[in-house]
Structure 1
Amino acid sequence: MAKVLLVDDDEELTRLLKEYLVEEGFDVETATEAPAAIAAAAAKSVDILVLDVMMPRMNGIELLQRIRRNGAIPIVMLTAKGDDSDRIAGLNLGADDYVSKPCSPGELAARLRAILRRSGQPSAATEVVRAGALTMHPASRIAEWQGKQIDLTGTEFILLEILARKVGQLVSKQEISRRAFGRALTPFDRRIDVHISSVRQKLGTRDDGQSWIQSVRGQGYQLLQDR
């Protein structure tokens, strides 16, 4: 089980990311300031660091520079969306990757797995999610439906995985939004509906003509179990 340290002073986002990563098989610790990251890197007590660029006292870029002087622990930077200067600076100083905030927990998990595989560290790469005729491999982003591989976009994979992990249960739109996009669902946001519609088409229909993914108006979605 890979050990991850999330360093970010946004406690709400950190809590959401931790909950998702733990469910994905990671061992997660959190911190709000730089000293915890410096100590963890020096002690080699974690396998990978996730650092927010905007932090009090010492920002993520300065923290990255300090850590890189003494070691090669894998590091992912959380940067503000559209802030190319921070991304370029981080990569030039030795960051392994970056994810834009607000970020999708699923995207972050995928980036962490990819970096851990490259660095030879342990990960949740062998996990398989099964729900009836559906088999999903989160690490490789491969999904098989009724014995055949289906072509899903990154977001479609994340949404279907969320439903597959709770097959037969109603999953609220708020939970889906928090787990897939890292934030609460806002009024008139139709992204989930659009992506789910696409996934429905790729799964086809049941023998009774129903969609495999049922919706409950105003509440959420449910992946039906095989009969």
Structure 2
Amino acid sequence: MSTILIVEDEARLADILDGYLRREGFHTERAATGRRALELWRAARPALILLDLMLPELDGLEVARRVRAESNVPIIMLTARDEEIDRLLGLGIGADDYVVKPYSPREVVARVKAVLRRAGAATDVSGTLHAGPLTVDPAAFRVNLHGTDLDVTAAEVRLLALLAREAGVVRSRAELLAALGGLERGTDERTVDAHVKNLRRKFGADAGLLDTVRGVGYRLWLA
């Protein structure tokens, strides 16, 4: 039975999510503050975190940053405004999905299941991928460039794994979005662009490895 950590300071919303998740067979833990969320995350080691953006003591961004510093546990951010998603992506906090309030509890449960399926599939991938100076190990969520490990998110690993399997082959934004599960949640293709922008920043002088093919998508370009 997978444990889901619900981090939500509105008791009514937390009650609703808790009820729906338990009916689907999940075990749940609940936190109403950012500090309590970190305590429970370390104690319960949940399979996934549902994390509200606006929280007392520590906000959702800070909680996500601290979790990501130690773990690739899937995180679904809960936000009250659609425009916050662009800001969250731009900050590169490494959330696996985003849900805008008001939301359907059934939709949240569906997204929890989808993210857990993707996380499970990622851990089953065997074999390290090599593309020029880049090495991608999907099973270990590890990316190495010129012998140096990069600080990457699980989503970024999934994107790079798809590109590295056939370096030089152009992957459309739709394909890359599907690798993130984006087609399941109806997110537009700006999600992919934001992740690529973050990866180029991390690649530094090798940012050109991630080549844009205008009007189509991206490829790993090793020429």
Structure 1: segments with no counterpart, 5+ residues: 122-153, 155-227
Higher percent of residues as helix:
2
Q: CA deviation at 1:19?
A: 0.8
1:40 aligns with 40
> Which residue in the other structure is 1:79 paired with?
79
- 1:9 and 2:47 equivalent? no
**Matched residue type, 2:89:** I
CA distance in structure 2 between the partners assigned to 1:106 and 1:18 by the alignment: 12
**Do residues 114 (structure 1) and 114 (structure 2) align?**
yes
Q: How far apart, CA to CA, are the structure 2 residues paired with 1:56 and 1:86?
A: 20
Deviation at residue 44 of structure 1 after TM alignment:
5.4
- Who is 1:52 aligned against? 52
1:42 and 1:70 in contact (8 A); partners too:
no
Which structure is larger by alpha-carbon Rg, 1 or 2?
1
Corresponding residue number in structure 2 for 1:65: 65
- What does residue 88 of structure 1 align with? 89
CA deviation digits over 1:126-163, x for unaligned, max 9? xxxxxxxxxxxxxxxxxxxxxxxxxxxx9xxxxxxxxx
CA gap of 1:44–1:21, structure 2 versus 1, over 3 A, is closer
Distance, in Å, in 2 between the alignment partners of 1:82 and 1:50 is: 17
Distance 1:86 1:23 in 2: 33
User: Deviating runs (4+, > 6 A) in structure 1?
Assistant: none
Identity level (%): 39
Alignment of 1:1-227 (within 5 A): 1-43=1-43, 45-84=45-84, 85-89=86-90, 92-120=92-120
Q: Is residue 5–residue 41 contact of structure 2 (8 Å, CA) maintained in 1?
A: no
Output the amino acid matched with 1:61.
Answer: L
TM-score by length of 1: 0.49
Tell me the SS of whatever aligns to 2:109: helix
Amino acid of the residue matched to residue 30 of structure 1? R
Indicate the RMSD between aligned Cα atoms, in angstroms: 2.0
TM-score for the superposition, normalised by structure 2: 0.50
Deviation string for 1:40-70 (max 9, x for gaps)? 3334521111110011121101111111111
Which residue of 2 is the match for residue 179 of structure 1?
none
1:94 partner SS: coil
- The answer as to whether partners of 1:47 and 1:73 remain within 8 angstroms in 2 is yes
Larger relative contact order, structure 1 or 2 (CA cutoff 8 Å, min sep 6): 1
Query: Cα distance 1:57–1:120, how it changes in 2: closer, same or farther (>3 A)?
Result: same
